[in-house]
Structure 1
């Protein structure tokens, strides 16, 4: 018996409706999976930010306590320097905290006030790092302007240095918002040699610092070392870097902390600069052949 044409049309319509329904269901499931994934990433980002804030807070507490307990010295054997935490596993990821004395380097913004002495120190740093001889004069020319440098990276556009030259210079130089002394208790050995400009005296100071962990004015007097202005034993600025990975989200924050006397003469530590954390998804692992 021949099939009626109307039945064939109905069958086709049913199949079309089923196909459309399947497409809608698939789209809804895909959107639901996407929403869940997005929610998980937001949750991971929130956890990472909380851990970053906690890491910075622990550095602030340690530095504030040090202002009260040991105001005469800042050295790498003190509790604030031991707050740093190498990368450790945490639930769902990893956590790392680094704290460094920002005054362990030569502050380029000192140049306008330090005159010939500062220019000589910078030139010795340039020579030690095997940088072009004109790097120092170019930086000095930039700092004749009223505005201080804000970041080391600004030397590329404002002083004509290359990114590689800035990276190398950053080993021993930095940029801080006000005039600062170089802390000889935290400065690297090579910078100690630059400061003294005397290999014998530098080795003597390095030996004392290695034995007892720090230097004092009495140590310098006993070693017959007279340091020029711009050198000290304590610091006001510190760099903190916190790196956190949760699931497939990695975040990092760098901040500059300043120690100062607050209202009522109370010690306080404040963040004067933060590099906003940027979210980065971990790259997928490359497939390996069996």
Structure 2
């Protein structure tokens, strides 16, 4: 009887040890699988970033070549404005498939004229609100069926985030001695976090995420004050930019532009002379310095969507156009 008990205990012990061994091995296999999957995801993420970096460089090349062909005008009929549909990358990207299989990686994207939209940094300069620009932004909000009174708090927010210099207490230009300018006795004012993107409007009461998404098609934030490009802008923005211009007249101007783009600002104003008596030359342009590049890479089960702001400007030293990446953001 005792022998049978011992044999039973031995069998149970053997089963427990076997179960424990199987559990440990399964755990090790699971951890290995997780590590392999993590390495694959990291590799795919890195590949997608390199693909998008190459796409941004390719877009910059297109913008430089465009400047050589037509430095003084930018319109929607140029190569940079052509949207890139989903394009297969075939065997150029490894993505954990066999050598005989095609790649599932695709690239799509578009270059957008940033000066087709209203620049929120126009609302203030060196921390001082521009009432004329506040009226312009207010009209744009109304055109988009939003509350036009929201323009003032936006302008105040933009002004607070811009740097300005104020005179130090007890200092005056008369106190400046020989070789000492008035600016030497000035101090930088405390500056709030820089206003850099449209999403920052969520900090203002009255703006909702849905409103922000709607505004992103008509509003942007650029490093300095800019004019709108009448060859690429929208009727809502154009009607807001020109005081007294109705949405119907703005739409008619856009339709006319789509048939024949404007080669100069003078051509734009002369074509609609009776409607553009209040427009200022500094408010409109026919060329652009800032572009937004949107790119998206899909690879198997994941995707990466980014946007980049590009500045295209004259290089005084080499008398050529240069393109600079100001920022890159994941969407």
Q: How does the TM-score come out when normalised to structure 2? A: 0.73
Cα distance, 1:73 vs structure 2: 0.4
Conserved? CA contact 2:113–2:288, under 8 Å = yes
Question: Equivalent of 1:254, from 295, 304, 307?
Answer: 307
When the two chains are superposed, the root-mean-square deviation of aligned CA atoms in Å is: 2.7
Does structure 2 conserve the Cα–Cα contact (< 8 Å) formed by 1:201 and 1:223?
no
Deviation at 1:14, TM superposition (A): 3.5
2:245 is the counterpart of 1:198: yes
Number of residue equivalences: 276
Deviation at 1:271, TM superposition (A): 1.1
Deviation at 1:208, TM superposition (A): 2.9
CA–CA distance in structure 1, aligned partners of residues 205 and 323 of structure 2: 32
1:1-290 pair list within 5 angstroms: 3=3, 7-82=7-82, 84-90=83-89, 91-113=103-125, 115-145=130-160, 147=162, 149-158=195-204, 161-196=207-242, 197-199=244-246, 202=250, 205-220=253-268, 221-224=270-273, 225-226=276-277, 227-228=279-280, 229-262=282-315, 264-265=317-318, 266-276=320-330
Residues 22 and 212 of structure 1: CA distance in aligned 2, closer, same or farther (over 3 Å) = same
Deviation at 1:190, TM superposition (A): 3.0
- Over 3 Å counting, the alpha-carbon distance change for 1:75 and 1:135 in structure 2 is same
Separation in structure 2 between the aligned mates of residue 263 and residue 11 of structure 1, nearest angstrom: 88
The runs of 5 or more residues in structure 1 that have no matched partner are 278-290
Q: CA deviation at 1:101?
A: 0.5
Whether the 8 Å contact between 2:138 and 2:149 is mirrored in structure 1 is no
User: Hey, what's the Cα distance between the residues in 2 that align with 1:204 and 1:155?
Assistant: 31
The CA distance in 2 between the partners of 1:124 and 1:49, in whole Å, is 40
How far residue 163 of structure 1 moved from its aligned partner, in angstroms, is 3.0
SS in 1 for 2:317: helix
Q: How far apart in 2 are the matches of 1:115 and 1:193? A: 19
Q: CA deviation at 1:37?
A: 1.8
CA distance in 1, matches of 2:214, 2:141: 9
Q: Does the C-alpha gap of structure 1 residues 182 and 12 become closer, same or farther in structure 2, counting only changes over 3 Å?
A: same
Q: Secondary structure at the match of 1:150?
A: coil
Q: CA deviation at 1:8?
A: 4.9
- Contact conserved, 1:150 with 1:175, CA < 8 A, in 2? yes
Q: Secondary structure, in 3 states, of the residue corresponding to 2:151?
A: helix
Contact 1:45 1:246 in 2 (8 A): no
Could you say if the C-alpha distance between residues 6 and 164 of structure 1 is closer, same or farther in structure 2, counting changes exceeding 3 Å? closer
User: Does the CA-based 8 Å contact 2:55-2:295 persist in structure 1?
Assistant: yes
- TM-score, normalised to structure 1, is 0.83
- The residue matched to 1:96 in structure 2 has which SS? strand
How far, CA to CA, are the matches of 1:128 and 1:212 in structure 2?
Answer: 25
Distance 1:250 1:146 in 2: 34
